[in-house]
Amino acid sequence: MSKILFFLLLIPTLVLLAVIPSAFSEDLHQMNENDLALDISNADTVQNGREWYDRRCSFCHGGQGKGGKGPCLTCGKFTYSANTNMGIFTTISVGITNQSLGGTMGAFGTTIDGMDIVAIVTYLRSEERRRIESGEIKDPYIVQEQMVFPE
Ligand code: HEC
pLDDT digits (tens, 9 = 90+) for 63-96: 999 999 999 999 999 999 999 999 999 999 999 9
**Which residue puts its alpha carbon closest to atom 37 of ligand 1?**
57
| Residues contacting ligand 1 via CB (< 6 Å) | 56-57, 59-61, 69-71, 73, 78-81, 88, 91-92, 96, 102-105, 108, 120
pLDDT, tens digit (0-9, with 9 covering 90-100), for 106-115:
999 999 999 9
Non-local (6+) Cβ contacts of 43 within 8 A are none
Q: Report which ligand 1 atom has the smallest distance to the Cα of 83.
A: 27
Asked whether residue 16 is assigned to any structural domain, the reply reads no
Q: Which long-range contacts (CB under 8 A, 24 or more apart) does 77-81 make?
A: 77/140, 80/105
- Judge whether 19 lies within some domain: no
Residues of the domain holding 60 = 25-134
Q: How far is the CA of 71 from the centre of ligand 1 (A)?
A: 7
Residue 90 lies in a domain: yes
In-domain check, residue 2? no
3-state DSSP percent of the chain in helix, strand and coil, to 5: 50, 5, 45
118, pLDDT greater than 60 = yes
- Burial (0-12, 13-18, 19+ Cβ within 10 Å), 119: buried
Task: Give percent above pLDDT 90 in the chain.
Answer: 70
Q: Which residues contact 48 (CB under 8 A, 6 or more apart)?
A: 116, 119, 123
Q: How many domains does the chain have?
A: 1
Q: Are 101 and 15 in contact (CB under 8 A)?
A: no
* Average pLDDT of the residues in 36-56: 97
Tell me how crowded residue 20 is: count the other CB atoms within 10 A of its CB.
10
**Ligand 1 atom with minimal separation from the 53 CA:** 37
Which residue of 38, 60, 127 sits with most ligand 1 atoms within 8 Å of its CB, as the best mutation to test the pocket?
60
pTM: 0.83
* CATH (domain of 109): 1.10.760.10
Predicted confidence (pLDDT) per residue in 120-130, tens digit: 999 999 999 99
Q: Is residue 13 part of a domain?
A: no
Confirm whether 116 is domain-assigned: yes
Q: Is residue 89 part of a domain?
A: yes
Which of 88, 92, 105, 110 best tests ligand 1's pocket when mutated (most atoms within 8 Å of CB)?
105
Inside any domain, residue 145? no
